[in-house]
Structure 1
């Protein structure tokens, strides 16, 4: 349909040109700026293969009427590229007659520099020399060193003043200016990030309220008092070196546990699940307003690529869609193997923690010896962070290779597939260890006399106050390290490169001033930059940090991973939205300063949505409901406390003189008698001697078991049944609330729908007027 429409309308366009009707685009000046710059190493030998490939590629560009300016500087050769105006006239016309982009913003008026760069970038990557190599392959073989588009000084200065500065932390973003300079894709990223940050404010405020709620009852909570004032002797945490220990030794741990495991956590988890849905629905409305204003609401990436293909080569053939079950099976198999490897690394971290705790208990440092489990958890979190940094690079390489196997028909499809694979790998890398801590830690370790072991080492146990604090520590360390260190490195590396290029820039500044004083005038009488002045601008951009097609992907991935931390395990860490809010306030300006000051200009790309990231965010929202329901129902002590209050506690028997939770900690503990044969084999005699020299004949451990035969008690099965019932009820209630919220908030505001109707009516009327004018011209 599209190619047929082009053929049918080409004659109409030619008649309009012959009849001297109003052109689609006003003529542009002969000289403005360069669209692109290629850089290569200087080769003195003309017969060198690299030199021959360079000439062949440049000749192919010249055949497409691209003007090329060649400047040699030291051992580098710079090629300045500028495309002809006719190329953009063709682009505008094809955009005008396409099925879905006929009222896009680029149809009317002159083509801005961002659009020129985007078209030229596509043409450069679709230009092949006689050996069949394109620019990407030539860059890999070092025929060309690099390529980049130039910053526009006037617009760059405006963005620095209004946006890319630390003093503007709490000011709005000039999204329309960002769109004009960096394209719709970058603008939508900052629009999404700003919207996400704004909606984090109520989530962060409520998270602080939940934290303060736990803090308010810090000193009066009977569970904390019961732990801190207890004389119960607990069973050794590990083999050989760990002695029995007193429950009161973990008073501080019990206090921290209560801060993040209280009644307010349940309400906060429900709120965050609904918040995630409202955030996405309100974002869709906000996006619709802006893309409608930018005239890209009906934009279609497939037709955009077809148009660019025709502009590059009028005789091109469309790339056919292909699907291979063999390739899909191979990719699926490799993805499964990669996920198994990542999960295996998570298990290695578990083994590290299992081994580290008893080894540190043997050490000479009293502090580490007394807090061996906590130190092991924190070291495991730090090691997990280092694993994340290494696996991020591995995941990227594997994802790119898998996309090469699939052989998609367009860059947009490749980008979508890469995003899904990379996020899946990163998600498992980040959350495999957290899922173990949340749902398996302390639940598969066995009991005295029948411990579960890995390579002879006992698995970890939960604290008598619950396992949620372990999850909190793991999340806090990873979030703080990941956000803080990543932001530092993101800023320091480009900033350092920026400092190095200033020396070269200052030398050329003086030469450029002399050049301008000589008044290098062109034929129209205007001052046109001479080679030194052009080179100064080119070197300025050359020494900036490199960017590529996945530079923006990295920013999106970082924020979506943060969104996952903020929603999936928020029941264990109510302060996560606050940390995310503080990080994002700085993240917006940090990314803006990088893009405007410190990095080469990103290739402006057109779009009308954040793409597959919307689906990823929706999946995270569903997973957040499941995970938080399981965290509260399985990981936290909310359900056991509820059962104790209404079934086994003092209030269940009608007592009003004591607190309803009095005796809860003791109720969750079972007793192991050392004289029993199986238990005696697990604990050495030296382990049963206290620090005061007393020999202990029995110890307590966290479980609901009989003291005689160690069978599970009826209370265990009741608590388990209530846990499952709570999880099912929680998830169904929250899912229903999510669906109601999604239905209640329409994706498109009414004024956007009305504006689109008006635009379509105006377009149809304009098309009718053009047809009448062409008929009158023929007559």
Structure 2
């Protein structure tokens, strides 16, 4: 691809610094055409996608705030929170079997109120909304992409064809790489990827076990402050370990993905890029999945460049001020900027797609995720602009007419988000137990709803009784505050006689399974309907491409040689071109 050296001032690095890489322009639309003129279509499409993603996040953020404020309005009015906050006489069983005390249920009053902010009646609606939002976002992006690349005359551009053409231009006698497929090589790569994923899952499980063990150890500590804040200390130390794991495994994942990619022996650069992208994203997805706040606020925020590079150093090309030293100094300054490579843009995409995964997958547990993602992206666009124009060398411009394999990754994340949100609502939250109590076991189950809260008594029904005489012999309970305790409560649905599951447990279990099946089927159906309802390509673009095809076909037909006179017969077409363009032949073939 040829990029002219003579560009308009607003299409140079200095022009982009003034028009794009400034905080004062944070609310303005990005100059995509100028970005394309300087960095090429691939970088321009990344920023076009990022801008579109940020705009669509605004709608999800508004709905998420509505759900959050709905819980906030009922912050103090929740019947469940009120019952927990007044349960001073309800003793809960110790959290460990060695020197852990009984504790009143009212100690979790604040936690119960905060939980209601996110786990309320609006959560189910918001999860369904986000399933539709993810589909509409991708479908509208396909339309926006079609509009953009059609204006660049790249809609039907084929990267593999251009790569082959470049090889033939460099060496007309070159040997073309044939398509090959080795099942043994495929199985080796698949096995290697499975081993890496298993190791990453094992590390995550080890961190969970670490938290449990450390919490118990801190609770047994002789230091009173550490005992009182055992859980907080365990969470903080676990977060530090998780951060170190992410930093280390991010580097390891890239090395392993590169090795597996080489083992596959991809035929073209596009195949190599797609293979590398899929593997690294999969490994990073597993590594980061429990790190929502890390991804939202810290990932990609650290630059290994000195502050002095943030200064706006203006360079003039040779001839503008008549000094060769000025141009040479400009070149030296640009050379000292951070190096870029062919996968530099990959890192930016990876960060945003990981964030998109958390925004959609965890939305049922954290409705404010779209809000945080939106605020992050508003800053991310300008940070990336500043980084590219002031801290890094210029990317090698590359053609592109889409975001590549990332679109398939986003679609897969959308399907996974439906499954995960259904599991969060059905299995993790109290939404289903509350419904079962409301319509089967609660005071309103018989239809009488006058002067009574239908969730009255829910907390007591969700706690089972454990008799202290049934403690194991090795169990040592701290009795510093409570003595002569004969029973305590724990969160479950079990019979006090033999500790077997109660009838209420099986009702809840069946309802959870039924809700999960219905929710996911309805959400998937809505996704498919939304995908069908929103065409991928606007009619204007389709008609434009149709006109271009007609024009190209006419040009090709006009260059075809006329057939010899021997071909001409009475009633026959005068030429092969006439034969192709004869409407009667077209109608006749249609009738047949």
| 1:206-263 deviation line (CA, Å, top 9, x unaligned) | 1111111111111111111111100210001112131111111111111111111111
Cα distance in 2 for partners of 1:621, 1:358 equals 38
| 1:577-614 deviation line (CA, Å, top 9, x unaligned) | 00000000010111111111210111111111111111
Cα distance in 2 for partners of 1:219, 1:740 equals 40
| 1:35-85 deviation line (CA, Å, top 9, x unaligned) | xxxxxxxxxxxxxxxxxxxxxxxxxxxxxxxxxxxxxxxxxxxxxxxxxxx
Which residue is equivalent to 1:643?
436
1:494 equivalent in alignment to 2:305:
yes
The answer to whether the 8 Å contact 1:241/1:358 transfers is: no
1:149-164 equivalences under 5 Å are 155-164=12-21
Which residue is equivalent to 2:567?
none
Which residue is equivalent to 1:468?
none
Which residue is equivalent to 2:483?
694
Q: Which of these residues, 303, 306, 320, is aligned with residue 178 of structure 2?
A: 320
SS of match in other structure, 2:495? coil
1:360-399 equivalences under 5 Å are 360-363=218-221, 368-399=226-257
Q: Which of these residues, 292, 317, 325, is aligned with residue 479 of structure 1?
A: 292
SS of match in other structure, 2:394? coil
Cα distance in 1 for partners of 2:195, 2:267 equals 26
Residues 378 and 516 (structure 1 numbering): CA distance in 2 closer, same or farther, change over 3 Å? closer
Which residue is equivalent to 2:195?
337
1:64-103 equivalences under 5 Å are none
SS of match in other structure, 1:701? strand
Which residue is equivalent to 1:729?
518
1:712-727 equivalences under 5 Å are 712-727=501-516
Cα distance in 2 for partners of 1:666, 1:587 equals 47
Which residue is equivalent to 2:340?
547
For residue 333 of structure 1, report the CA deviation from its aligned partner.
1.1
For residue 483 of structure 1, report the CA deviation from its aligned partner.
3.2
Cα distance in 2 for partners of 1:386, 1:426 equals 14
Which residue is equivalent to 1:584?
377
Cα distance in 2 for partners of 1:280, 1:384 equals 32
The answer to whether the 8 Å contact 2:337/2:391 transfers is: yes
Cα distance in 2 for partners of 1:352, 1:627 equals 25
| 1:445-468 deviation line (CA, Å, top 9, x unaligned) | xxxxxxxxxxxxxxxxxxxxxxxx
Which residue is equivalent to 1:178?
35
For residue 533 of structure 1, report the CA deviation from its aligned partner.
4.9
The answer to whether the 8 Å contact 1:497/1:545 transfers is: no
The answer to whether the 8 Å contact 2:465/2:488 transfers is: yes
Cα distance in 2 for partners of 1:166, 1:365 equals 49
For residue 680 of structure 1, report the CA deviation from its aligned partner.
3.5
Cα distance in 2 for partners of 1:371, 1:259 equals 24
SS of match in other structure, 1:494? coil
Which residue is equivalent to 2:580?
none
Which residue is equivalent to 1:662?
456
Which residue is equivalent to 1:624?
417
Which residue is equivalent to 2:475?
683
More RCO (CA 8 Å, sep 6+): 2
For residue 731 of structure 1, report the CA deviation from its aligned partner.
0.3
TM, length-normalised to structure 2? 0.89
Residues 165 and 500 (structure 1 numbering): CA distance in 2 closer, same or farther, change over 3 Å? closer
For residue 308 of structure 1, report the CA deviation from its aligned partner.
0.9
The answer to whether the 8 Å contact 2:10/2:16 transfers is: no
1:447-466 equivalences under 5 Å are none
The answer to whether the 8 Å contact 1:227/1:665 transfers is: yes
Cα distance in 2 for partners of 1:764, 1:601 equals 39
Cα distance in 1 for partners of 2:297, 2:420 equals 26
Cα distance in 2 for partners of 1:393, 1:178 equals 30
Cα distance in 1 for partners of 2:224, 2:125 equals 40
For residue 151 of structure 1, report the CA deviation from its aligned partner.
13
The answer to whether the 8 Å contact 1:626/1:731 transfers is: yes
The answer to whether the 8 Å contact 1:224/1:255 transfers is: yes
The answer to whether the 8 Å contact 2:10/2:19 transfers is: no
The answer to whether the 8 Å contact 1:285/1:749 transfers is: yes
Residues 659 and 382 (structure 1 numbering): CA distance in 2 closer, same or farther, change over 3 Å? farther
1:761 equivalent in alignment to 2:550:
yes
RMSD of equivalent CA atoms: 2.6
1:188 equivalent in alignment to 2:45:
yes
| 1:316-357 deviation line (CA, Å, top 9, x unaligned) | 221222221221111111111111110110111111111121
Q: Which of these residues, 140, 164, 169, is aligned with residue 306 of structure 1?
A: 164
The answer to whether the 8 Å contact 2:140/2:534 transfers is: yes
Q: Which of these residues, 411, 424, 427, is aligned with residue 269 of structure 2?
A: 411
| 1:534-580 deviation line (CA, Å, top 9, x unaligned) | 53233122100111111100000000000000001110000000000
Cα distance in 2 for partners of 1:353, 1:632 equals 25
Residues 558 and 637 (structure 1 numbering): CA distance in 2 closer, same or farther, change over 3 Å? same
Q: Which of these residues, 132, 137, 141, is aligned with residue 279 of structure 1?
A: 137
1:744 equivalent in alignment to 2:533:
yes
For residue 202 of structure 1, report the CA deviation from its aligned partner.
1.0
Which residue is equivalent to 2:590?
none
The answer to whether the 8 Å contact 1:487/1:587 transfers is: no
The answer to whether the 8 Å contact 2:310/2:391 transfers is: no
For residue 181 of structure 1, report the CA deviation from its aligned partner.
1.3
Residues 421 and 372 (structure 1 numbering): CA distance in 2 closer, same or farther, change over 3 Å? same
1:232-251 equivalences under 5 Å are 232-251=90-109
The answer to whether the 8 Å contact 1:273/1:738 transfers is: yes
Cα distance in 1 for partners of 2:431, 2:441 equals 15
Cα distance in 1 for partners of 2:541, 2:255 equals 41
For residue 383 of structure 1, report the CA deviation from its aligned partner.
2.7
The answer to whether the 8 Å contact 2:296/2:372 transfers is: no
Cα distance in 2 for partners of 1:245, 1:373 equals 14
1:217 equivalent in alignment to 2:6:
no
For residue 499 of structure 1, report the CA deviation from its aligned partner.
6.0
Cα distance in 1 for partners of 2:339, 2:96 equals 51
The answer to whether the 8 Å contact 2:300/2:351 transfers is: no
Cα distance in 2 for partners of 1:541, 1:390 equals 31
Cα distance in 2 for partners of 1:543, 1:302 equals 34
Cα distance in 2 for partners of 1:639, 1:516 equals 72
Residues 758 and 367 (structure 1 numbering): CA distance in 2 closer, same or farther, change over 3 Å? farther
For residue 385 of structure 1, report the CA deviation from its aligned partner.
2.8
Cα distance in 1 for partners of 2:11, 2:439 equals 70
1:198 equivalent in alignment to 2:69:
no
The answer to whether the 8 Å contact 1:360/1:369 transfers is: yes
Structure 2 residue runs without a partner (length 5+): 562-592
For residue 157 of structure 1, report the CA deviation from its aligned partner.
1.7
The answer to whether the 8 Å contact 1:211/1:575 transfers is: yes
SS of match in other structure, 1:671? strand
| 1:281-311 deviation line (CA, Å, top 9, x unaligned) | 1110000001111111111111110111122
1:268 equivalent in alignment to 2:79:
no
Which residue is equivalent to 2:23?
166
